């Protein structure tokens, strides 16, 4: 996970306190003041934001993937809410804690005592799993139906860490037969001259493929074909 700052929006602001400033306004103004003094990067926490946008921005912070597609975020958020009706409240609670911690990155937040709050880690795992696996829910082996729902394939984050060596399943990196050439980070051992032209003449090849006989011998004890029985 990287160390770049991300903006974490919260939910609608609570009722103003008696002195005219609520907790969220205090957090925002305090954060800007600290940022101006060089204390921490600015975390923009809008007073009002939709649940799906809160989820998208929180997802970007947790996964260090700032370019999460809003449409995919809305899909994932809706599906997770179908699985758990309390998920919007859990997302909002986590966003509030992240904002209150003033952590500039997920690594810093995980090191902060606030991240160990009740249920927060479970919510983080739920969100991160949806983006890395590309689906929500839990697959059940040997069952035709379960609660899994598709989120994305091409944008699933689990393929990113090994993209320099592997590709997404069913995707060829450089067209057909791309695997003929070794990867750039592999130094192949010396090969015999003209190895690519050996074909069936390879020392370990099978040579010419034998032709199948026109008449296939019957297995011992097998019944003769119906046509042969009629001729008899």
Q: Is residue 47 part of a domain?
A: yes
Q: Is residue 103 part of a domain?
A: yes
β-pair partners for 136? 149
Q: Three-state SS for 220?
A: coil
Does the global pTM surpass 0.85? Answer: no
Tens digits of pLDDT across the chain (232 residues) = 444 445 444 444 443 333 333 434 333 333 333 333 344 333 333 333 489 999 999 999 999 999 999 999 999 999 999 999 999 999 999 999 999 999 999 999 999 999 998 899 999 999 999 999 999 999 999 888 999 999 999 999 999 998 887 778 776 666 777 777 777 888 888 877 776 666 656 555 555 556 666 776 676 666 766 655 555 5
Q: Is residue 119 part of a domain?
A: yes
Q: How many domains does the chain have?
A: 1
Phi, psi torsion values for 150, nearest 5 degrees: -70, 135
Q: Is residue 38 part of a domain?
A: yes
For residue 49, the enclosing domain spans 23-150
Report the alpha-carbon distance of residue 5 to residue 7 in Å, rounded.
7
Report the alpha-carbon distance of residue 102 to residue 109 in Å, rounded.
8
Q: What is the DSSP string of 80-116?
A: HHHH-TTHHHHHHHHHHHHHHHT-SSHHHHHTSGGGG
Q: Is residue 49 part of a domain?
A: yes
Q: Is residue 212 part of a domain?
A: no
β strands within 137-229, DSSP E = 149-150
Q: Is residue 56 part of a domain?
A: yes
Q: Among candidates 123, 88, 103, which has minimal Cα distance to 7?
A: 103
Q: Is residue 4 part of a domain?
A: no
């Amino acid at each position: 996970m990287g160390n770049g700052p991300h903006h974490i929006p919260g939910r609608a602001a609570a009722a103003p306190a008696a002195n005219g400033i609520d907790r969220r306004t205090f957090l925002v103004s305090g954060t800007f003041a600290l940022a101006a003094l060089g204390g921490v990067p600015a975390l923009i926490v809008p007073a009002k934001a939709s649940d799906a946008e809160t989820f998208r921005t929180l997802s970007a912070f947790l996964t260090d993937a700032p370019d999460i597609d809003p449409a995919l975020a809305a899909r994932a958020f809706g599906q997770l809410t179908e699985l758990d009706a309390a998920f919007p409240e859990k997302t909002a609670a986590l966003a509030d804690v992240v904002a209150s911690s003033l952590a500039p990155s997920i690594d810093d937040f995980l090191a902060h005592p606030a991240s160990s709050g009740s249920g927060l880690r479970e919510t983080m795992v739920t969100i991160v799993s949806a983006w890395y696996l590309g689906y929500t829910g839990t697959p059940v082996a040997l069952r035709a139906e379960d609660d899994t729902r598709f989120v994305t394939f091409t944008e699933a984050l689990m393929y990113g860490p090994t993209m320099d060596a592997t590709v997404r399943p069913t995707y060829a990196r450089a067209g057909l037969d791309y695997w003929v050439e070794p990867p750039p980070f592999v130094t192949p051992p010396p090969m015999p001259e003209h190895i690519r032209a050996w074909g069936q003449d390879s020392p370990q090849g099978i040579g010419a493929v034998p032709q199948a006989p026109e008449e296939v011998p019957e297995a011992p004890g097998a019944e003769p074909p119906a046509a042969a029985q009629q001729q008899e």
